[in-house]
Amino acid sequence: MTLEERRAQLKPYFYLEPMQLEDIPEVSQLDHRCFTNPWPLSAYRRELANPEGNFYIVLRQRLPGAQLRQEEAENNTLARVSRWLWSEDEQDPISGYAGMWIRAGEAHVTTIGVAPELRGRGLGELLFVALFEEAIARDAEWLTLEVRVSNDQAKRLYQKYGLTRQGVRRRYYSDNGEDADIMWSESLRDPDYVHKVEALRDQLADRLIGDGVIQPRRDDANPRY
């Protein structure tokens, strides 16, 4: 198989990793594309300065050139193909991001963003599930968030995972004065609820793996993403 044929077989896929300080400029650029009231750079730096109380992740897209570079490192049969490979200094582009605070048993989702051209593929749900998993791992009892009252698509996702509207914050959004619905999960310490969330997570992972959007982890007895 020629290099061109191998490259044609490779499809982009996505993966999650912790947000780092050096990611902030790229995250900020994406934030401006996603929202009309983006955060300043200083806000992200402040959030990352407290990893004990905050949790932030990025969604990266592994492109075919980077996959070939990885394969070359693992198997030297792809040597001398540098015209297809990214330099070692380049990273996979950021396509999404998410974060939350964890305080006094409460996990408060602060942001979830996905590049506009990639929406509708389950990537926002992937980020949301990752926050759920971390909240459970940190023994939070509840997960909560604010969402624009007009954002029906996001509210349907949150309702799918058992969040319900518990109040409203009037004129919460500074760009247009729109109200925010306050939504809360059921108890994350309730085994039945955790089982429901895990079942939804597994369904999502199976679908995204089947579609080639993500790849199963190779180093996990229960591979997900």
Identify the pLDDT of residue 12.
80
Select the CATH number that applies to the domain covering 3-210 from these four: 3.40.630.30, 1.20.120.160, 3.40.50.2020, 3.20.20.70. Answer: 3.40.630.30
Share of the chain above pLDDT 70, in %: 80
- In whole angstroms, how far apart are CA 88 and each of 73, 107, 156? 11, 36, 41
When pLDDT is averaged across residues 8-12 and rounded to a whole number, the result is: 67
Catalytic positions = 146, 158
Among 86-90, 137-141, 178-182, which is the least confidently predicted range? 86-90
Helices (H) and strands (E) in the chain, counts: 7, 7
Look up residue 122 and give its two tokens: 């389950």
Helix ranges restricted to H, 49-166: 64-74, 123-137, 152-160
What strand order describes the sheet that includes 13-18? 13-18, 54-62, 94-103, 106-114, 142-148, 180-184, 164-169
Q: What is the mean pLDDT of the chain?
A: 86
Identify the band that residue 91 occupies on the pLDDT scale cut at 50, 70 and 90: confident
Beta strands in 104-187 (DSSP E): 106-114, 142-148, 164-169, 180-184
Q: 101 exposed, middle or buried (CB, 10 Å; 0-12, 13-18, 19+)?
A: middle
| 84 pLDDT more than 50 | no
Query: If you compute the radius of gyration of the chain from its CA atoms, what whole number of angstroms results?
Result: 19
When pLDDT is averaged across residues 204-215 and rounded to a whole number, the result is: 92
Predicted structure pTM score: 0.84
Identify the pLDDT of residue 85.
41
Higher pLDDT, 117 or 82: 117
Over residues 53-78, the pLDDT tens digits come to: 999 999 999 886 666 566 655 555 44
Higher pLDDT, 64 or 189: 189
- Domain segments of the chain: what residues? 3-210
For residue 141, the number of C-alpha atoms closer than 13 Å in the C-beta half-sphere is 3
Over residues 151-161, the pLDDT tens digits come to: 999 999 999 99
